[in-house]
Amino acid sequence: MCEVTQEMEEAKFAEFRRKIRAAEVLSAAMQRLLSDIHFNGKVSVIIQNGQVLKSGYEEGYFRQHSGT
């Protein structure tokens, strides 16, 4: 049973890595909202023991000025 559990854990971690590489870390609703407000910035999320510990954003990161 231990081998099966380890294989499942490895498969889940591989899926986690794949989603990170593919930028599949935000829900569709959040992606729509960011697009709607034309957000340019950095969003960060700190996870501890599988739970969101802290999140935040830096607005204007890579900000483009209109008219240029």
Q: For 53-68, what is the mean pLDDT?
A: 73
- Fill in the DSSP letter of residue 24: -
pTM, 2 dp: 0.64
Domain boundaries, the chain: 2-59
DSSP β-bridge partners for residue 44: 56
> For residue 61, is pLDDT > 60?
no
Q: What is the pLDDT of residue 33?
A: 93
Q: Which among 44, 46, 41, 45 has a CA at the least distance from the CA of 58?
A: 41
**Other beta carbons less than 10 A from residue 43's beta carbon:** 14
